[in-house]
């Protein structure tokens, strides 16, 4: 997969992309990440990428020309085609499903917006997808792009140490992940549940599933409503949820 990121702050990506899973995936050749400075595509000597808003609102808007020029140039650098994603609080909400959908492409172009927003022609005629990482306003699309890249890259087969690890993540089955423990089995009197030490794999799997159900019901009932549960599991929850 090739990911091109268009930003006015390429330096912001250095730390996060030079550590951990993204770095490992890049080193393994599973993904290529290219950073492009939008200012390189400005047409004046001041490298201007913003301008006043027609109709008179306060603040500045990101200009259309440098963004169109940047996307066209970046597209010409490699033959693969894929979504052109604008990171904006007005986009569809990012989720594990959206990450999986994006991970299915050979190419992603991510545009990081700034200032009060981006000229509407970028939304309407350049971006093919708009994504928000949550209902809050960030100072720019960079942090959102990092979140998207991290969640997408960990879905690429081989990016994680074990092939099972991303399939086990919270949300992978529409439920939150069950609690997990490592050694010691007794830490300051806080004991690991007996069943996990039993070696009985069927019992352990059952306990984990039940813990996932309980956790999701308590913390994210909205997820539970959409999750794939058997009638038996729904019944089990009704009798095992406290205060219900
Ligand atoms: N840019 C500013 N806020 C954002 C958000 N919540 N998601 C994506 N991009 C953004």
The pair phi, psi for residue 226, each rounded to 5°, is -100, -5
Cβ atoms of 5 and 36 closer than 8 Å: yes
Point out the ligand 1 atom lying closest to the alpha carbon of residue 87. 9
Q: How far apart are CA 112 and CA 237, in angstroms?
A: 43
pLDDT exceeds cutoff 80 at 198: yes
Q: Separation of 40 CA from ligand 1 center, angstroms?
A: 23
- Give the per-residue pLDDT at 116: 86
Q: Are 220 and 176 in contact (CB under 8 A)?
A: yes
Q: Find where tokens 């992309």 sit.
A: 17
- pLDDT above 80: residue 166: no
Q: What share of the chain is helix, strand, coil (3-state, %, to 5)?
A: 40, 20, 40
Query: Which option is the CATH number for 2-153: 3.30.390.50, 3.40.630.30, 3.20.20.110, 3.40.1280.10?
Result: 3.40.1280.10
E strands, 22-83, in order: 32-37, 50-52, 60-62
CATH T-level fold of 170-240? 1.10.1270
Two structure tokens written together for 85 = 């994603």
Going by their DSSP bridges, the two strands 60-62 and 190-191 should be labelled as: unpaired
pLDDT in tens, 83-101: 999 999 999 999 999 999 9
d(CA 53, CA 125): 19
Domains in the chain: boundaries:
2-153, 170-240
Residue located via tokens 């091109």: 4
Ligand 1 lined by 127 (C-beta under 6 Å): no
- Cβ 132 under 6 angstroms from ligand 1: yes
- Is 89 known to be catalytic? yes
Contact in structure between 111 and 67 (CB atoms under 8 Å): yes
The pLDDT, as a whole number, for residue 194 is 98
Task: Note the pTM of the prediction, 2 decimals.
Answer: 0.92
Q: What average pLDDT does the segment 203-207 reach?
A: 98
Q: Is the pLDDT of residue 229 over 80?
A: yes
pLDDT at 215: 96
Is the torsion defined by CA of 15, 21, 22, 28 positive or negative? positive
């Amino acid at each position: 997969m090739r990911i091109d990121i268009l930003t006015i702050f390429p330096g912001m990506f250095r730390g996060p992309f030079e550590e951990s899973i993204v770095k490992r995936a890049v080193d393994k050749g599973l993904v290529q990440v290219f950073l492009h400075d939008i200012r390189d595509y400005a047409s004046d000597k001041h490298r201007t990428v913003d301008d006043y808003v027609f109709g008179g609102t306060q603040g500045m808007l990101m200009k259309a020309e440098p963004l169109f020029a940047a996307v066209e140039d970046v597209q010409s650098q490699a033959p693969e085609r894929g979504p052109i994603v604008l990171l904006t609080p007005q986009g569809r909400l990012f989720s594990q499903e959206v990450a999986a959908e994006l991970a299915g492409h050979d190419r992603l172009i991510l545009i990081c917006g700034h200032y009060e927003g981006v000229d509407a022609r970028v939304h309407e005629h350049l971006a093919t997808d708009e994504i928000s990482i949550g209902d809050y306003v960030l100072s720019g699309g960079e942090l959102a792009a990092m979140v998207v890249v991290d969640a997408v890259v960990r879905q690429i087969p081989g990016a994680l140490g074990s092939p099972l690890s991303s399939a086990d993540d919270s949300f992978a089955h529409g439920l939150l992940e069950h609690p997990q423990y490592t050694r010691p089995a007794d830490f300051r009197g806080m004991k690991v549940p007996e069943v996990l030490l039993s070696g009985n794999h069927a019992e352990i799997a059952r306990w984990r599933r039940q813990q996932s159900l309980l956790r999701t019901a308590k913390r994210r009932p909205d997820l539970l409503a959409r999750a794939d549960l058997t009638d038996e599991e729904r019944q089990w929850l009704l009798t095992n949820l406290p205060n219900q």
